[in-house]
Amino acid sequence: MLGKKTMSLYIILQVQMQLPLIMKAAKAYANALRAFTQGQPIGDGAGALVAAKLMHGHEKSRIAKDIVMAEVPIQGRTAYVLKAEGPGANIGKPGDAIKQIIEEKDGKIATVIVVDGALKLEGEKTGEVAGGVGVAIGGPGVEKYKVDEAVLNQKIPVNAVIIKEDIGDAVSTMRKEIFDAADAAIERIKRLILERTREGDSIIIAGIGNTVGIGE
């Protein structure tokens, strides 16, 4: 309509060129509505799924707003595993939870491992698992800042494990490739623990993401 009013061919051309991306996003959000109304897990819950698998069968407690934690023995270390409280559509306050654990343990945390879904490049496969350093938390950045502040004060290294997906995967019902990638992410976490910590150490594993449809 703006193109017609201004008699500008270039405005119309821009819409025409962007239309495939607009339609892709529209379809993704239409699928998201179905996933949320039916309480199905979504791709953004990849990190929460990893944490749920790790804490399964262990006693949980609420540690921060909408965040649950379990103390889990892994590879001779004590892992404080946390995620948003499910199966409702929560993301919680993981930054507050990580900060609280670090303070309670007087900074004696060997490493923090953050697990989350991340936007893939167009040529990459959905469900690929990658590793890196830093706080892998998307969104406005408030929770990321809280973690950065807590670990910087105590000089605690932070490692990231990410599961790759596109925006459509993130907001719609979880694909099999992402579900299967949770086990690969757990194996990567175990390797990280063996390589970068010592037996008897305490670590934090934070599963980030919307935990709709994913319990504890």
Chain centroid offset of residue 84 CA: 10
Q: What's residue 30's pLDDT?
A: 85
Q: What's residue 3's pLDDT?
A: 87
Taking only the tens place, the pLDDT of each residue in 68-116 is 999 999 999 999 999 999 898 999 999 999 999 999 999 999 999 999 9
Q: Is residue 181 part of a domain?
A: yes
Q: What is the mean pLDDT of residues 6-19?
A: 91
Chain centroid offset of residue 102 CA: 20
Q: What's residue 26's pLDDT?
A: 87
Q: Is residue 213 part of a domain?
A: no
Taking only the tens place, the pLDDT of each residue in 110-169 is 999 999 999 898 899 999 999 999 898 887 788 889 999 999 989 999 999 999 998 888
Q: Whose CA is closest to 179, among 41, 64, 23?
A: 41
Which residues make beta-bridge pairs with 80?
71, 204
Q: Whose CA is closest to 81, among 118, 50, 106?
A: 50
Q: What's residue 207's pLDDT?
A: 95
List, edge to edge, every strand of the sheet that includes 129-133: 60-64, 67-74, 77-84, 202-207, 111-119, 158-165, 129-133
195 has a pLDDT exceeding 90: yes
Count: domains in the chain: 2
209 has a pLDDT exceeding 80: yes
Q: What's residue 25's pLDDT?
A: 84
Q: What's residue 55's pLDDT?
A: 95
Q: Is residue 212 part of a domain?
A: no
**Distances from the Cα of 121 to the Cα of 21, 167, 197, angstroms:** 14, 11, 31
Judge if 12 and 71 occupy the same domain. no
Which residues make beta-bridge pairs with 114?
160, 206
Judge if 92 and 30 occupy the same domain. no
Judge if 32 and 52 occupy the same domain. no
Q: Is residue 188 part of a domain?
A: yes
Q: What is the mean pLDDT of residues 23-34?
A: 85
Judge if 136 and 170 occupy the same domain. yes
Judge if 65 and 166 occupy the same domain. yes
What is the Cα–Cα distance from 110 to 204, expressed in whole angstroms? Answer: 8
Q: What's residue 114's pLDDT?
A: 96
Q: Can you give the residue range of the structural domain that contains 23?
A: 2-37
Q: Say how many Å lie between the first and final Cα of the chain, rounded.
A: 50
Judge if 75 and 177 occupy the same domain. yes
Q: What's residue 212's pLDDT?
A: 92
Q: What's residue 80's pLDDT?
A: 97
- What is the share, in percent, of the chain residues with pLDDT greater than 70? 100
pLDDT averaged over every residue in the chain = 92
In terms of C-beta density within 10 A (0-12 exposed, 13-18 middle, 19 or more buried), how is residue 195 classed? exposed
CATH of the domain at 155: 3.40.50.1470
Judge if 98 and 179 occupy the same domain. yes
Chain centroid offset of residue 183 CA: 15
Judge if 107 and 121 occupy the same domain. yes
Q: What's residue 79's pLDDT?
A: 96
What is the Cα–Cα distance from 31 to 137, expressed in whole angstroms? Answer: 23
Judge if 74 and 167 occupy the same domain. yes
**Distances from the Cα of 57 to the Cα of 13, 54, 72, 143, angstroms:** 56, 9, 10, 28
Q: Is residue 216 part of a domain?
A: no
Judge if 181 and 91 occupy the same domain. yes
Judge if 51 and 81 occupy the same domain. yes
Judge if 16 and 64 occupy the same domain. no
Q: What's residue 138's pLDDT?
A: 81
The encoded tokens of residue 58 equal 């262990």
